A and B are shown apart, each in its own frame.
Chain A
Amino acid sequence: MALLFRNTPTHYGWIAILLHWLIAVLFIGQFALGLAMVRISSQRTAFELIQWHKSFGFLLLGLVLVRIGWRLGNVRPTLPETVAPLERRAAPLVHALLYVVQLIVPLSGWALVSVSVLEVPSVPFDLFVMPNLPLGASDAAEAFWSVAHEWLAWVGIALAALHILAALRHRFLLRDSVFQRMIAPPSGDEPRE
C-alpha cells in the first residue's frame, strides 16, 4: 500500500502531519525548557539546559523552514462543509499567526544569542558552530531580544492553546473530520467523513 505523502484537496499527507507534530512537540517542549532553564538555581545545569534549548531551537527553525516550503508546494486541504462561517474565517487567521510565531520565536532566540555580550558560541548538539546573525552585541540589544523572545514565546503558546482547544472541540464536540485528518491520512480509497 502506497503511503500518502503529499496533501490532497481534502486531506493532509504524512509529511505535513509529521512536521505538524514534530514542531508541536518541539515548540511546547522548548517553551517548558525555556521557563525551567532561567529559573533553575544550579548555574551548571542552567548552562547545559540553555545549550540544549539552543540546539532544539535551531532544529525547530530548520523544521519550520521545511514546513513552510512543504506548505507552499502542496495543496491546502479545505475545511469540511459543516464548519461554521466564523470558524472558516478564524481558522486561517490563527494558522497564519501560528506560522508567524513558529518562525520568529526561534529567530528571536537566534538574535538573542547573537547579540549577547557573553558571546557563548551556538553549537547545535555539539555538531557544528552556528554563525551568529550579523547584529551588534551590546547589553541593550541583549536585554531587548531577551524580552522579545520571551514575550513572543508566550504569544506563541497562547495561540497554540487556542489551536489545541479548537482541535479538541472538533474531536469531542463537533465530531467532524478536522481533528482526525491531522492524525493520519485515509488509508484506503474511501474518505474518512
Chain B
Amino acid sequence: MSVRMLALLAALSLPVSTASADVSLGDAAGRYSIGTGGSSIRFSIAKLGGGGLSGAFGRFSGTIRIDGADVGRSSVEITIFPDSVGTGQGRIDAFLRSDAVFDSANAPQIVFRSTSVKRTGDTTAVIAGRLTARGKSSPEVFTARLDSLKRGTVAFHVTGKVLRSRYGMDVGTPIYSNVVDFDMTLIGRRG
C-alpha cells in the first residue's frame, strides 16, 4: 500500500511531458482503464507490388495493471470489437467483418491477455500473451513504450506483428501479406 501510494505521489508530481526521459514505468504503478478516447488501434498489411491495406478499430476496451515494485508482475488485457473495423472503404470493411476475415457476427470479440511482462528499459517493456480471435488462441508478443504519464493518465505506444493465418484469416495471401503490423496508442485512465 505504501509503495503504491509513493508511486502514485511520484506519478502526480511528474511534470507534464511526453519525453520518455521524464517518465518511468515504475512511477506509473496502478490500475488503468483503456478507453477509446484518445486511444487508437491501427493496423496495416503490406501487399505485393507496394502499398498496403491499413485501418483501425473504433471500439475496444481494456485494463492495464502496473506493479510499481515489480514491473514484471504487471498485466494487460484488451478486448477489440472487430465489428468496428474501419479502412475508409465501406466494401473492404464489409469484407473484413464477413466470415472471410473476422466473422464478427459469430466472433464479436478479439481478446489479448498478457502472460508475462518483461521490462526492457526505463519506459519500455515486452509483453507476451495470448491472442484469441475466431475461437483460435495463439501466443503473441508486443512491444510497449510508456510515452507519457500525467494526472493519473498513462499513454503507451504499442507495436507488434501478428500472423493472421493463425486465426483462420489467411484469405488473400500471398497478395496481401500474412503479417499484420499493429500500431497502437493506448491511453489508460486510473481507476
Contact = CB atoms under 8 A, between A and B. Distances in A.
Contact of B100 (A47, A51, A117, A120): A47
Given A119-B51, A120-B175, A129-B48, A44 B99 contact: yes
A48 B176 CA distance: 12
A162 B175 CA distance: 39
B48 A47 contact: no
B49 interface: yes
B91 A118 contact: yes
Contacts of B101: 44
A82 interface: no
Interface residues of A, number: 15
B: interface residue count bin: 10 to 19
A123 B99 CA distance: 23
Contact of B172 (A42, A47, A131): A47
B89 interface: yes
A1 B47 CA distance: 51
A121 interface: yes
A78 interface: no
A193 interface: no
Contact of B95 (A47, A121, A131): A47
A120 B51 CA distance: 10
A100 B89 CA distance: 35
Interface of B: 47-49, 51, 89, 91-92, 94-95, 98-101, 171-172, 174-175
